[in-house]
Amino acid sequence: MVPVNWTNSTLKNSNVVFSNIDELSISNVPVGSSRFWTHIVMAYAFTLWTCYVLKREYEKVASMRLHFLASDHRRPDQFTVLVRNVPPDPDETVSQLVEHFFLVNHPDHYLTHQVVYNANKLSKLVNEKKKLQNWLDYYQLKLSRNPSKRPSKKTGFLGLWGNRVDAIDFYTSEIERLLKEISSERDKITSNPKSIMPAAFVSFRTRWNAAVCAQTQQSRNPTIWLTEWAPEPRDICWDNLAIPYVSLTIRRLVVAVAFFFLTFFFMIPIAFVQSLANIEGIEKAAPFLKTVIEVKFIKSFIQGFLPGIALKIFLIFLPTILMIMSKFEGFNSISALERRSATRYYIFQFVNVFLGSIITGTAFQQLDKFIHQSANEIPKTIGVSIPMKATFFITYIMVDGWAGVAGEILRLKPLIIYHLKNFFLVKTEKDREDAMDPGTLGFNTGEPQIQLYFLLGLVYAVVSPILLPFIIVFFGLAYVVYRHQIINVYNQEYESAAAFWPDVHGRIITALIVSQLLLMGLLSTKEAAQSTPLLITLPVLTIWFHRFCKGCYEPAFIRYPLQEAMMKDTLERAKEPNLNLKGFLQNAYIHPVFKGEDDSENEAAAEECEKEPAVVPTKRQSRRNTPLPSKYSGSSSSSLPDDTQKMLRP
């Protein structure tokens, strides 16, 4: 497409401000030219290739997800559902009501349950106690290094004023006081019915039972006894479980309105930033700045780096704001919080970085021409100017994309933060470990950021193909760097089994449709009316393809096949017929603040129980490994019939 675009002189013969790169775009093709058929054919080629790759990837990811769920070791969330909106009963507590309901409606399947407590205040007390304990450890360590001098501190704000007291005695007494408050708060929560939320984690004897309960309606009233798969214990957002279910809809409406204003409020600074992307445009709007702007260093800095850097600064605080908004909505898992935050981050970037850059930049750049031309010519001017924003996006890819990947592998920001913490905040070895913690990958920011480059690549693939090499370099670098970081650097906070993929697929489809609509609008200004029917077909086919993929593959991400659950249960019963499943599940969903420091033995036992049983070789073709007898004792679950045991015996 570059020769097709470049071998014209349309821009040279016009009054539009342009650069050499713009001559390689579709803007340089004359009005009504037959060369536009090249762009239409390439639009079909990009669309068909993108759909082919998406289908292949969706099929692969769905298969991997089902394989992971079928082959993964035993986890509490495989047997547990979260029940919400439990109806009030004057004669029974929530715990009694849950037990009675599931014993009646799931008599052979129900195993145990754990009610949800509003323990937010207790959680704050426990966290405060941990901080004080850390200070006590610090001063005890300080005393051990210099036994001749006991450490002291002032009792005022940040230790800057107040009475000077013995530090060890002070923190010991404070911790004792907090322990009493914690004990009192625990007793208050467990004894006060108002502290028990109308929700519970209900565990079943098999995965099949849990799958049936999680995916069916439990009551004739569809607003009560709502069931869903329980998140894995480390993925739970415990604070949000205390939010009443009836308030979730109101919260989400409030957040939706707030997000709308947040998105369009940012258009103001974005408009100013984009006005800096063109030197000639600034000089026309403010002639008195011409002498300053023409200085070589200032001119290159403003035109090359300032727009991208300014955008990056505006976006630094955005992820934190979006996560706070998602948490306010009341999602009960960290993975759900990150998925919603990622969706909003992508929408924000689409509106402000992509649309804002095109619309604002075009209006400012062509302001003088708009004033001195007829209204009929304005659509043509916009059509010519939109692909000319490729220059800005090339700069943005280099500043934000390439430099971001380099910063990711260097990790300068975490290094600086670590040394600042080490100098000012680290007091004990625990503080040092916390300061060195690399954290998680951050799907809520990384994934939508990468998808912005998918959007740019798809939109400009036909309009201004010179942008594609910069995109390819970014993805090549990002693949190598993030693969290394995920394997060797970041911690895994939770396991969602590829739950992000349907959102990723949907956003790529959106980018594809945007690119098709943009090309359609662009060619309409080029008097290529004969191409309209062919271009209208593209979005229709893309939407049909998206619905096809949703129907074929998305159920694997929403529902758990009963066949897979039964296969896993059958194999587990054959391998461990005496497994004490109730002992494995009964403490899995207890709020962390109710687990005392003496629970280490229970946690170790749970970790041991999660391990797969040892295996020994076998000659059987269908299963190369046969488990050793279970080393766990306890109440035996229902064993397989003799015929089935004979079938499973090697």
SS (H, E, C) 186-220: HHHHHHCHHHEEEEEEEEECCHHHHHHHHCCCCCC
Is the pLDDT at 375 greater than 70? The verdict is no
Averaged pLDDT, 395-422: 85
- Please say if the pLDDT value at position 10 is more than 70: no
For residue 502, the model assigns a pLDDT of 93
The CA R_g of the chain, rounded to the nearest whole Å, is: 31
Cβ partners under 8 Å of residue 392, min gap 6: 274, 277, 307, 357, 361
Across 68-94, average pLDDT: 85
Region of poorest pLDDT, from 15-19, 322-326, 503-507 = 15-19
Q: State the pLDDT at residue 275.
A: 60
Among 334-343, 522-531, 536-545, whose mean pLDDT is lowest? Answer: 522-531
Residues β-bridged to residue 626: 616
Least confident stretch, 333-342, 434-443, 537-546:
434-443
Neighbour tally for 176: CB within 10 Å: 10
The answer, yes or no, to whether residue 292 has pLDDT greater than 50, is yes
| Cβ proximity of 122 and 189 under 8 Å | yes
Contact of 557 with 502, CB cutoff 8 Å? yes
Sorted by where each begins, the domain ranges of the chain are 76-231
pLDDT tens-place string over residues 144-174: 888 888 888 877 776 677 778 888 888 899 8
Q: What is the mean pLDDT of residues 558-575?
A: 86
Give yes or no for residue 294 having a pLDDT over 80: no
- Alpha-carbon span 581 to 230, nearest angstrom: 17
In this prediction, residue 547 carries a pLDDT of: 94
Q: Which residue has the tokens 């001017």?
A: 381
User: Of 85, 94, 124, whose CA–CA distance to 248 is shortest?
Assistant: 85
The one-letter amino acid at 527: E
d(CA 543, CA 510): 9
Instruction: Tell how far CA 146 is from the center of its chain.
Output: 48
Rounded Cα gap, residues 518 and 491, in angstroms: 40
Strands of the sheet with 226-229, listed across from one edge: 110-117, 196-204, 80-84, 226-229
> Does the pLDDT at position 52 exceed 90?
yes
- pLDDT band, very low/low/confident/very high, at 373 (cuts 50, 70, 90): low
Cα dist. 443→42, 252, 496 in Å?
33, 21, 12
Residue 337 sits at the vertex; the CA angle it makes with 336 and 342, to the nearest 5 degrees, is 95
Instruction: List the beta bridge partners of residue 228.
Output: 82
529 CB-near residues (< 8 Å, 6+ apart): none
Q: What percent of the chain has pLDDT over 70?
A: 76
Minimum mean pLDDT range among 87-101, 522-536, 628-642: 628-642
Average pLDDT over residues 8-30: 68
Mean pLDDT (the chain) is 78
**pLDDT value, residue 615:** 38
pLDDT band at 524 (very low <50, low <70, confident <90, very high): confident
Give 479 or 395, the one with higher predicted confidence.
Answer: 479
Cα atoms found within 13 Å of the Cα of residue 479, Cβ hemisphere only: 6
Instruction: State CA 576 to chain mean position distance.
Output: 37
Q: What is the predicted pLDDT for the residue at 89?
A: 84
CA–chain centroid gap for 62, Å, is 19
| Average pLDDT over every residue of 53-73 | 86
Between residues 599 and 121, which one has the greater pLDDT?
121
